[in-house]
Structure 1
């Protein structure tokens, strides 16, 4: 959804709906226009470009959205229903409050649809960060269990399990049975088994020694991916002596040939 507005000089300016409503809330046209241009250049949602570039705080944006839709805004002190879902409610940007009201913090990609359809009566707006913190506080034990057990549920082969797997136990039993049978086997069969074992060990050693000597063909240079198709990464960095490390970290990120990452992370200090 796009809206055409007039600049103070009378020129027509086309803005996405999730940014155009800010003009009615007293936000400067130049700021909104810069956010729209950034969104077009990076291929991101207009509201996401506005927030990630630091042109407007999350609280200010969602408070303006609440005013535009005629609903109250709560920045802190959210009381949620005990049966909130984690992380589904955070991803959806909606959950139930303790009093049965609908608490909304739509992701930037969903703001345009919300402006077009409106909100149900009794809805309350907050920021995604405040909603995530409140949901995590209400569903703390369930969130901890999910973090601890999600890998074992989704990819059990990657998760640590103490002891041997059933398949490993079966292989050990078969090897032990084969060794017991070889003790009573004919001498030529024992020699054949020993020779086979030595051959396998020798083959493994030769393979490992020869591997560094092989020079694979260099892979072809991949085609440059358009900025709009690059994924957005969230980088968590544990810092020591922050005041000395942060400037160097920002400079290092700025040198990366990854416009989406650099523009969104180095833009916030």
Structure 2
């Protein structure tokens, strides 16, 4: 037989890995089409057939077993052969295609779900006259899904322990699990005592000094926004020089991790959005990650006719019950060299995976992650969603691209992160105890010598339309930023050495400074408001209410608002959301809501630092038809 496209035994029509399906399970036209796509994509023909949904995984492997004269097993009554697996890491078992098992009758055998080169070798071996009896004694055929289910059923506790404790075990200084260090507790207690003593002994001087210090921090945050507004202009020009796209044969296998909890209502919309991605289906490995207790979402997923590129992973109960723990658990089952994260309500640009793959191919060995740009499909619903959309444009279309241009650490967003899997595993994955695992991971990557790039491709999300929903989500975000700041400031000199002066400044301004500025913002507003009402702006300079201190606060607020509005103005222009610019005038009031969330976050951090406050999705006025009619141009929503 001739060879074509690197597929051994290809006869120009139907590849031998799928030829035995002809007649009963698939017609020759479908098999020939799968074989042609396999050659075009540089993929395995059986994966084309299964992942495109033309033949189910179960049908294929049952037919393969019959073709080879081997038994097929769903492994329902089997158990892992622990004696043969002694010393094998649970993560290796999760990803294996061949696992030693003991069947219901106590017989030891090898459960095999062959694919790729292993499948070709098995078919070739079975053709030898002396191989049949030997193979029948040793092998049973099963599906990859059955192997994964067996690994979870038998090693779920160990996999959960790895997901929860790997970072704490390998790099305890990077884990939020241990909370504040003794030095940090003593430092905070000492600062509180010093402040109390100052207020008791020299109240006016202490308040004035505290005012100046906080004003300085607020000014640094404002200056960083102004600097970002200038830097992003160069990044916009650089983004126009997008990396050359990869040919379909060169595209890698891509794993999408999609953690879901109480998302039954939006699941069909999510599946439709992921199926719309423009990427070879044979190279897509989509993991829908469900919690064992979430029966509604599990039932909703079971009702969907999911094609073979989807795989449902059920995470066993364990604490903490957080998104990063679920991601770590599912990462052990990933097949791709690239990994992306999406949330339940996401609607990614269909070309995003291709753009990300090209960015990695051209980004050098230290490029560990690319961050997609986030926006909202319901930005115009009400005042709150408009302000939220403005904030997102300032962050993802202006600030993060500016940090990319300056090669500074980027605090990642919680979705549309794309990683090199080997680097992600090298740095320990996500911190399951950090409720903003994304921001933490961005700085951890920077400390290990890697960098993050901003990807000129948008993913649309659902903005919170109700204040309680928004407040809960923002409280969790700010609590996670508090966690992230204290984790990375456990050893300040080491952080300075690993991040460099500018990176260290970014940590203190973007993470610590942003939280602190949210806490002090209402105090400045109240102080200035009180002075205006009392007419004391021109009081005696020697007093606490002196004009110089009031002028400093007014100047700080003015510059802070102006810098933030400038950054948002630029971001709205880049994102094509110029119609929202008229709503910028309301930004100071939105900041007061952020301040409320910051105080809630501080209280929540003290009481329950690892609690994950769930954001409910599925806005009642949003309809699937609207999402599916989204029109994309150059990675952006075209309005």
Q: TM-score, normalised by structure 1?
A: 0.70
Counterparts of 2:58 and 2:251, CA distance in 1: 28
Counterpart of 1:110 (choices 118, 140, 145) is 118
> Could you tell me which of 144, 148, 152 is aligned with 1:128?
144
Does the 8 Å CA contact 2:51/2:282 hold for their aligned counterparts?
A: no
Equivalent residue for 1:156?
A: 172
Question: What is aligned with 1:220?
Answer: 239
Q: Which has the larger radius of gyration?
A: 1
Tell me how far 1:129 sits from its aligned partner: 0.9
Shift of 1:52: 0.7
CA distance in 2, matches of 1:250, 1:79: 32
* CA drift at 1:126: 0.9
1:88 counterpart (88, 92, 101)? 92
Deviating 4+ runs (over 6 angstroms) = 197-202
Equivalent residue, structure 2, for 1:54: 53
Alignment of 1:60-99 (within 5 A): 60-81=59-80, 83=82, 84=85, 86-98=90-102, 99=107
Distance 1:129 1:253, change over 3 A: closer
Task: Confirm or deny: 8 A CA contact 1:3 1:14 kept in the other structure.
Answer: no
Match for residue 259 of structure 1 among 257, 261, 279:
279
User: Quick check: 14-23 or 145-154, which moved more?
Assistant: 14-23
The alpha-carbon distance between structure 1 residues 262 and 141, as it changes in their structure 2 partners (threshold 3 A), is closer
CA distance in 2, matches of 1:205, 1:131: 54
Query: Contact (CA 8 Å) 1:3, 1:15: kept in 2 or not?
Result: no
Would you say 1:241 and 2:245 are equivalent positions?
no
**Partners of 2:48 and 2:281 within 8 A in 1:** no
The question of whether the paired residues in 1 share the 8 Å contact of 2:99 and 2:112 is answered with yes
Q: TM-score, normalised by structure 2?
A: 0.33
Q: Cα distance, 1:14 vs. partner?
A: 4.4
Label 1:127 to 1:261 Cα distance change in 2 as closer, same or farther (>3 A).
closer
Name the CA shift for 1:153/1:43 in 2 (closer, same or farther; >3 Å).
Answer: farther
> 1:206 aligned to 2:212?
no
Bigger proportion of residues as strand: 2
Distance 2:25 2:53 in 1: 18
Aligned length: 245
Unaligned runs of 5+ in 2: 1-6, 127-133, 195-208, 287-303, 308-639
Which of 141, 161, 185 is the aligned partner of 2:157?
141
Structure 1 residue 27, shift from structure 2 partner? 4.2
- Superposition pairs of residues 8-47 of structure 1, within 5 angstroms: 13-23=12-22, 27-47=26-46
Q: Which residue of structure 1 lines up, in the alignment, with residue 9 of structure 2?
A: 3
Secondary structure of 2:9's partner? Answer: strand
Q: Deviations over 1:122-149 (max 9, x none)?
A: 2111111112112221223222222221
Give distance in 2, aligned partners of 1:36 and 1:267.
24
**8 Å Cα contact 1:52-1:267 kept in structure 2:** no
Gaps of 5+ in 1: 6-12, 180-194
On the 8 A contact 2:13/2:35 being kept in 1, the answer is no
The secondary structure found in structure 1 opposite 2:72 is coil
Deviations 1:30-72 (A, max 9, x none): 1211212232333332222111111111111111222222211
163 and 65 in structure 1: CA distance in 2 versus 1, 3 angstrom threshold: same
